[in-house]
Chains A and B, each alone.
Chain A
Amino acid sequence: MTGHTDWRALVAVAMVLLIAPAIPGIATKTKSVLTGRRGAPVLQGYRDLAKLVRKGRVYSDVSTWVFRAGPVVVVASLVLALLMLPLDGRSAPLHFAGDVVAFAGALALGRFALVLSGLDTGSSFEGMGASREVTIASFAEPVLFLCFAALVLATGHLSLNGAVGPAIGAAWPRDTASLVLVALALFVLLLAENARVPVDDPATHLELTMVHEVIVLDHSGPDLALVLYGSALKLTLFAALLVCVVVPRAALRAWTAPVAVAAGVAVVAVLVGVVESAMARLRLTRVPQLIVGAGALALFGIILLLR
């Protein structure tokens, strides 16, 4: 961990935190437009949050502090992960050798807290959602590590600060194919981790088919606001990671780099919307197939690098 942190990097983080609620809105809007509807306004996410914060909380008798702590830990862990991304293309606010593992660990912590808070309600619906979430994650996490391994091999940096920061620009002309494969795999991961089509349909509210939404059925008021903000932030985080891989920003000016990231994140959200309007949700048994396919892509990328 370094004491020397550029304050502009913190500004970039703050900006991402700020735009996060709009990102799922962009995806939804894209989907609506593509399917011939008007759709909710892009900024609806902020209104929902504002409304929920003003409401009261309801807790069931059987739930404990685990249930209450869940949403807070989710958001905190995501912010922690976000701090490790070199958004301005120079340095991340938080970086050390091997922080790729910490990044994945932060994501896992958030998931763990969410799953526990779902299980804590004692409801079988939440339990089902939790088990699905963990099933998908158990496939997705190794793929994330494969992607990171490819990035580390391509750039020679053990830290995200280097791997998706300045060094990625030099790696692109050299290992184009591998990085394209990694980007593809990351995009599939983004869909899987954020419960988007074709892994899960965020628009549905049928408990039997949902993954993510069903875990948070019991949350209400500010808690639900935190959960919603957390899921928006997670989507934004993955999109930002993808943008960091695809767009080398080292050459950009200090202020334009975060703006480029923000614009890139918006583009990714549009892509998510396009996928959602073009594909149907997969059967749950097919989901691992998709994620392992992404893993095979990342593995192939690694093979090309090791050659």
Chain B
Amino acid sequence: MQTTAELLLLLVVLTDLAVLGSSRLRTCIRAVAAQGLLLGLLPVALASRYTVHVVALSAGTVVVKAVVLPLFLLWAIREAAVRREVEPLVGYIASLLLGAAAVAAGFAIATRLPVPDVAEPVLVPVALATVMIGLIVLTTRRKALTQVVGYLMLENGIYLFGLTQTESVPFLLEVGVLLDIFAGVFIMGIVVFHINREFDSLDSSHLTELRD
């Protein structure tokens, strides 16, 4: 573990595990905010020289992922008076074990894939692990807001993988990606708010009227 980037990636995995293991919604959101901050620092840590592009990407990521979205989620909790518990479908211990398995799988897959000359060997496995853990949170948590948290982690993992491609995917698209994610979660948040008003609960398992 020589570089700052590796340390940051390591902390990303710890925030992943923190989301899986915590039973409080606020803790989950804080962990995702911390993850966003780490993701924002990564482009700077990975860059060989500091161009405007790198700094702008970094700043934009921090603003969106570490400040705006978490605040928005916290606002949604307050506004909708959500109860604090996460209410998982799969227990915390099982989730943590699944998460550890996902990390192991991420590393196992990454060693088998031919990764072309990336600066940071841990980047790809951590990205894959974060994607998988995001999917785990998305599918094993009952609350609509926790699912948004899972979706954010999924997007974070994809963003991490995207960092291997900063040369080939130009700036314009990265902005588009950030904005799209932002817009998506924003609308989802608003919908969540409406769900609450209609059902007096943010439990997405109430949304079962439409079925065959």
Residues on the B chain within 8 Å of A175, using CB: 1
The total of Cβ contacts below 8 Å across the A-B interface reads 51
Chain A contact patch, size range: 10 to 19
Output the least CB separation between B25 and chain A (Å).
Answer: 15
User: Is the Cβ of B1 less than 8 Å from the Cβ of A303?
Assistant: no
Query: Which A residues between 132 and 165 are near B, CB-CB below 8 angstroms?
Result: none
Whether a CB of chain B sits under 8 angstroms from the CB of A265 is no
Residues on the A chain within 8 Å of B7, using CB: 177
- Decide if the interface of chain A is mainly helix, strand, loop or mixed: helix
- One digit per residue, 1 when the CB lies within 8 angstroms of any chain B CB and 0 when it does not, for chain A 271-307 equals 0000000000000001011001101110110011011
Assembled-state Cα–Cα distance A248/B89 (Å): 44
Stretch from B51-59, B94-102, B172-180, B187-195 forming part of the interface with A: B94-102
User: Is the Cβ of A306 less than 8 Å from the Cβ of B107?
Assistant: yes
Output the least CB separation between A149 and chain B (Å).
Answer: 13
User: Do A293 and B107 form a contact, CB below 8 Å, given A286-B23, A288-B93?
Assistant: no
User: Is the Cβ of B13 less than 8 Å from the Cβ of A289?
Assistant: no
Whether a CB of chain B sits under 8 angstroms from the CB of A5 is no
Residues on the A chain within 8 Å of B183, using CB: none
**Residues of B in contact, count (CB < 8 Å):** 22
Assembled-state Cα–Cα distance A295/B138 (Å): 23
Residues on the A chain within 8 Å of B93, using CB: 288-289, 292
Residues on the A chain within 8 Å of B125, using CB: 307
Partner among B10, B23, B92, B100 whose Cβ is within 8 Å of the Cβ of A299: B100
User: Is the Cβ of A292 less than 8 Å from the Cβ of B96?
Assistant: yes
B10, B104, B125: residue with the most chain A Cβ atoms closer than 10 Å? B10
Residues on the B chain within 8 Å of A178, using CB: 1
Residues on the A chain within 8 Å of B10, using CB: 177, 304
Nearest neighbor of A302 in chain B, beta-carbon distance:
B104
Whether a CB of chain B sits under 8 angstroms from the CB of A35 is no
Whether a CB of chain B sits under 8 angstroms from the CB of A256 is no
User: Is the Cβ of A296 less than 8 Å from the Cβ of B107?
Assistant: no
Whether a CB of chain B sits under 8 angstroms from the CB of A123 is no
Residues on the B chain within 8 Å of A303, using CB: 103-104, 107
Taking A289-B23, A306-B107 as given, write out 15 further A-B residue pairs in contact, using a Cβ cutoff of 8 Å, ordered by the A residue number.
A177-B7, A177-B10, A288-B93, A289-B21, A289-B96, A292-B21, A292-B92, A292-B96, A299-B103, A300-B100, A300-B103, A303-B103, A303-B104, A304-B1, A304-B10
A interface residues (Cβ-Cβ under 8 A, vs B): 175-178, 286, 288-289, 292-293, 295-297, 299-300, 303-304, 306-307
